[in-house]
Amino acid sequence: MSVKRVVLALGGAVVANVAVAEDFKLPPEVTPQLRAACETDVRRLCIGAKPTVSKVKACVAFKYFQLGKKCQVELASLGFGR
């Protein structure tokens, strides 16, 4: 799995959680483990007043080393950084 695909999936998962009126179907690579490991960190670091999928995706990639160890490990297990 490519780095972009994992970051895109994670960004989409968090924005989908924030969106109220939109109905998002999460990609299969957003596992319950990934969501559990990363959602809090991504919300803290990457969700602003008006989040967009592209902003969150870019933020996750840019702030990877600021994410918690559990999130980093989960992302690495999915191929992030290879």
The verdict on pTM exceeding 0.75 is no
Q: How far apart are CA 48 and CA 73, in angstroms?
A: 25
How distant, in Å, are the alpha carbons of 7, 21, 23 from that of 59?
Answer: 9, 23, 22
Work out the pLDDT band at 23, boundaries 50, 70, 90.
very low
How distant, in Å, are the alpha carbons of 16, 20, 22, 74, 79 from that of 4?
Answer: 18, 25, 23, 15, 10
Looking at residue 75, its pLDDT comes to 85
- pLDDT > 70 in the chain, percent: 62
Residue ranges making up the domain that contains 28: 3-77
Number of structural domains (the chain) is 1
Residue 45 is assigned to a structural domain of this protein = yes
- In 3D space, the residue among 33, 37, 34, 15 whose CA is nearest the CA of residue 25 turns out to be 15
Residue 82 is assigned to a structural domain of this protein = no
